[in-house]
Chain A
């Protein structure tokens, strides 16, 4: 439950929301458009104002005050000329200079209005034209007079006065025409100016409106950015709050590794204050020395290539360093973000010292518990082994004792002893098989089985026990499948256990054993139903646990070790099935097991038929070929049992009392077979075997059969590695011993003579039973198959399918080889089969040994074929 990622997510979301406030966007376009409009209108106003200015300038000339002045002055100058004329008429002595001057001034005035540009418009007016003509006519008429001498002027003064009098009216008329003309011009001008002013007014209004809109728009923007700013501030506060209240340390660093931010939790975790941390290199501050190089390399790589290996990779477990130098485990996650256009890294980290401590303690506790369990299992296994050895001696001795001609009473006592011993052995075996199942070593060997026959046999064998408890027992196989393929021994063990339990907990009741094929067609169910005391439903699961007896009364009634159902459960599980029960207190119980029906296994069939042949052949052989056997056994009783069994089978064994003696004897005499006890003082069986195998004595290749109470799989491997040919788990029985001798004897020194005899007798037997051709065919087929084995084996590469096929072939050939007396070959083939099945890859040594052995045997067999 690391909260770091959720903090991280919240902070990142907040940062994201900050950057997405809608401030920019369309505003820019709006402002640009406004500016364009304002500029356009301003240009328009400028243009119109320019026109206005031009208009005003144009009118300046026409309507100048000087123009009005000139108009008025015409009359003034005329009047002053009149005064000068009148003065000259009244005063004869006056000088004419002033008069001439007045005329010249009037003259220049008239010239001005007659030719000046400013009067060009006025001159087109009819009244003005007439008036002007009168004025110019006057000047034209009288300027020669004024240019002449004074006498002439004096003479014409009255005429001039009269003319001037008339002219005054003309001058006035001209002035009035001018007033009207200029008034009209002023009107036009005003109208024009007015139009321009209206235009300016309109444009100005438009400008004002646009500016108003822009101002509104800006106002809106300001409001929005104020809102955005306050939201951003709020978010910042929020982030700050999240960061400061985070229980995880949060460190922000830039790409150079400098710490940019550092929260309160980080202060607590590392011991540095915020002031101490900010601006420092993170690597120098909190990263332990042994990680600094890796950190710097990572940062450098990021700066160069932009790739990072830890960012965004979820939770990492690393170590960090406190201010006091102590290094502690942290859990952290790093994410990258961008601030002000630069990459930053945000690390969220948590001190997980206590968690790691707790985890460590948990692991230690668990390890101790597992070790304890293991010790217990080991103890149980070893105890069982150690108990089985003396028990084995007891049972074997009792078996021998039975053959010594006891009287009736003695036989009864012996029978009781045997029962007790067997029960004890049963318990020991129970514990042993349980520990074996727990260690994963339980071999299921499926074979064909007829449920009806199986149940009939089982029920009949148990009937006496049921009678003792006044129970009846029946079985029902009406719906049972005809055949199933299961491990008979294991199935028997389980069903017997259930039946025995049913009998134990039922008095004066009925027990029924049924077998049905379930509707799926692939499952067979065995049911044991009783009318006993029943089991409460809360115990349904617990009764399958080990050492479980339900209560004292139950315990008293049941002498069981409490292991039965636990073992049954293990066996059924190993067989690929299930076990369960239905029960009601005081009414009875139904225990059921469901197993896959299975199918015919051809190799299994082969094996069975082969074995049958082998046994037959060996029995024939044993009859005529006693073998030399060395028994190495320190336990006197076991030694006695073994010797007796061997002698009864027609062999004459030598005996060594311990490993040292065994090795010595093996160096002195050649044997066909050595039986070697494993547990011996001084030199145990494994070591003794190693010495014999590695020495140069006559028995370095003699088959060695280990006798042991140790049956753990790893032990078997160890024995095989030491050179032991086969391991027989005690108690030793005649059947097991004889089969082992049959399988292994005849190899070693002096083998050939006996082998020849052996094969001869075998072939004779086959000839006698099936005819000479059959014997010959058998040999030829064997040679062909063997050649196939050796050639396949020489291929260096083998697929799993090849290995399985080769194992099958080797198995088949081993059987034939043993029948034909090629015991070395048979043994190597057996080893080959084991190696192939165990998946061993190094087969070269075995291949060489097999090739050497087979070469000899092949020559021998071929010569045999030629001679017959």
Chain B
């Protein structure tokens, strides 16, 4: 009984510490944001910060995975508006240095999300984490195009905003 309690307490502590460790980690750096002084601003996001901006979940298949996956993340449109961006281009770059440019005008609502959970779990780099820009490919043919596929950047960790 005491062992069980101890184990539970220990596991809980371990989990909490893990959470807090992860939570304190920066998973997305957005640079090039216009600042009041005219200089550029860089903002770093932790997971919880992203989750606070917005969170939706959808299921879809992708060309790069097997079977239907459930993705949870912040809609790109919501994310862009939280940064108070009206125009310009987002240059998203992955850990593996893959990079794409997405015009802000195409940050569609009901469209792409910056997913931070796949099948309700965080994604390691091996699992194309920490962030994955995914589209609901199955919901509409307009998301099954070459451009959309090329913009579906995984292992995303930084975004540069430019005019």
Q: What is A's interface to B at a CB cutoff of 8 Å?
A: 57, 60-61, 64-67, 70, 73, 77, 101, 104-105, 107-109, 111-112, 115-118, 143
Assembly CA distance A170 to B145 (angstroms): 31
Assembly CA distance A107 to B155 (angstroms): 12
Tell me, yes or no, whether B149 is within 8 Å of chain A by CB. Answer: yes
Tell me, yes or no, whether B163 is within 8 Å of chain A by CB. Answer: no
Interchain CB contact under 8 A, B141 and A57? yes
Assembly CA distance A115 to B62 (angstroms): 11
Query: Which A residue's beta carbon lies closest to that of B127?
Result: A108
Q: Mark B151-163, 1 if CB is under 8 A from A, else 0.
A: 0101100000000
Assembly CA distance A322 to B150 (angstroms): 97
Interchain CB contact under 8 A, A101 and B125? yes
In the complex, the number of residue pairs spanning A and B with C-beta atoms less than 8 Å apart equals 65
Residues on A with C-beta less than 8 A from B65 are 112, 115-117
- Within 8 Å by CB of A108, from B61, B145, B150, B155, lies B155
For the complex with contacts A73-B96, A105-B155, A111-B126, 18 further pairs of A-B residues with Cβ separation under 8 Å are A60-B144, A60-B145, A60-B149, A64-B63, A64-B146, A64-B149, A65-B146, A65-B150, A66-B63, A104-B125, A105-B125, A107-B125, A108-B126, A108-B155, A112-B64, A112-B128, A116-B63, A118-B64
Minimum distance in angstroms from A95 CB to a CB of chain B: 16
Assembly CA distance A67 to B62 (angstroms): 12
Minimum distance in angstroms from A116 CB to a CB of chain B: 4
Interchain CB contact under 8 A, B124 and A104? yes
Residues on A with C-beta less than 8 A from B128 are 108, 112
Query: Which A residue's beta carbon lies closest to that of B150?
Result: A66
Residues on B with C-beta less than 8 A from A115 are 65-66
Minimum distance in angstroms from B124 CB to a CB of chain A: 7
Q: What is B's interface to A at a CB cutoff of 8 Å?
A: 61-66, 95-96, 98, 124-128, 141, 144-146, 149-150, 152, 154-155
Residues on B with C-beta less than 8 A from A109 are 96
Would you list 26 pairs from A and B whose C-beta atoms are within 8 A, ordered by A residue? A57-B141, A60-B145, A60-B146, A60-B149, A61-B63, A61-B144, A64-B63, A65-B146, A65-B150, A66-B63, A66-B146, A66-B150, A67-B63, A101-B125, A104-B126, A105-B95, A105-B96, A107-B125, A108-B127, A108-B128, A111-B127, A115-B65, A117-B61, A117-B64, A118-B63, A118-B64
Choose among B64, B152, B154, B155 the residue with the greatest number of A CB atoms under 10 Å from its CB: B64
Minimum distance in angstroms from B150 CB to a CB of chain A: 6
Residues on B with C-beta less than 8 A from A66 are 63, 146, 149-150, 152
Choose among A70, A107, A108, A143 the residue with the greatest number of B CB atoms under 10 Å from its CB: A108
Choose among B66, B96, B146 the residue with the greatest number of A CB atoms under 10 Å from its CB: B96
Residues on A with C-beta less than 8 A from B145 are 60
Interchain CB contact under 8 A, B95 and A116? no
Assembly CA distance A105 to B127 (angstroms): 9
Assembly CA distance A143 to B150 (angstroms): 29
Residues on A with C-beta less than 8 A from B124 are 104
Assembly CA distance A60 to B137 (angstroms): 13
Residues on A with C-beta less than 8 A from B155 are 105, 108
Residues on B with C-beta less than 8 A from A104 are 124-126
Residues on B with C-beta less than 8 A from A61 are 63, 144, 149
Interchain CB contact under 8 A, B125 and A108? yes
Query: Which B residue's beta carbon lies closest to that of A110?
Result: B126
Minimum distance in angstroms from B57 CB to a CB of chain A: 21
| Cβ-closest 4 pairs across A and B | A104-B125, A118-B63, A116-B64, A115-B66
Query: Which A residue's beta carbon lies closest to that of B94?
Result: A105
Residues on B with C-beta less than 8 A from A117 are 61-66
Assembly CA distance A101 to B95 (angstroms): 8
Residues on A with C-beta less than 8 A from B125 are 101, 104-105, 107-108
Residues on B with C-beta less than 8 A from A67 are 63
Assembly CA distance A66 to B146 (angstroms): 8
Interchain CB contact under 8 A, B63 and A107? no
Minimum distance in angstroms from B18 CB to a CB of chain A: 16
Minimum distance in angstroms from B146 CB to a CB of chain A: 6
Interchain CB contact under 8 A, B63 and A77? no
Residues on A with C-beta less than 8 A from B150 are 64-66
Assembly CA distance A101 to B145 (angstroms): 30
Minimum distance in angstroms from B142 CB to a CB of chain A: 11
Assembly CA distance A866 to B126 (angstroms): 175
Query: Which A residue's beta carbon lies closest to that of B152?
Result: A66
Assembly CA distance A105 to B128 (angstroms): 8
Assembly CA distance A143 to B125 (angstroms): 13
Assembly CA distance A219 to B150 (angstroms): 53
Assembly CA distance A857 to B110 (angstroms): 144
Query: Which B residue's beta carbon lies closest to that of A77?
Result: B96
Assembly CA distance A504 to B63 (angstroms): 153
Choose among A105, A107, A143 the residue with the greatest number of B CB atoms under 10 Å from its CB: A105
Query: Which B residue's beta carbon lies closest to that of A105?
Result: B96
Assembly CA distance A203 to B144 (angstroms): 29
Residues on B with C-beta less than 8 A from A105 are 95-96, 125, 155
Minimum distance in angstroms from B17 CB to a CB of chain A: 19
Minimum distance in angstroms from B83 CB to a CB of chain A: 27
Choose among B98, B125, B150 the residue with the greatest number of A CB atoms under 10 Å from its CB: B125
Assembly CA distance A613 to B147 (angstroms): 153
Assembly CA distance A60 to B143 (angstroms): 11
Assembly CA distance A113 to B64 (angstroms): 7
Residues on B with C-beta less than 8 A from A64 are 63, 146, 149-150
Query: Which B residue's beta carbon lies closest to that of A61?
Result: B63
Query: Which A residue's beta carbon lies closest to that of B64?
Result: A116
Assembly CA distance A187 to B61 (angstroms): 26
Residues on B with C-beta less than 8 A from A107 are 125-126
Assembly CA distance A723 to B61 (angstroms): 143
Residues on B with C-beta less than 8 A from A65 are 146, 150
Residues on B with C-beta less than 8 A from A143 are 126
Assembly CA distance A560 to B65 (angstroms): 154
Query: Which B residue's beta carbon lies closest to that of A67?
Result: B63
Assembly CA distance A64 to B98 (angstroms): 16
Assembly CA distance A64 to B127 (angstroms): 21
Assembly CA distance A466 to B154 (angstroms): 167
Assembly CA distance A743 to B63 (angstroms): 154
Assembly CA distance A38 to B62 (angstroms): 41
Residues on A with C-beta less than 8 A from B95 are 101, 105
Residues on A with C-beta less than 8 A from B149 are 60-61, 64, 66
Assembly CA distance A115 to B69 (angstroms): 13
- Within 8 Å by CB of B154, from A57, A60, A108, lies A108
Query: Which B residue's beta carbon lies closest to that of A113?
Result: B64
Minimum distance in angstroms from A178 CB to a CB of chain B: 14
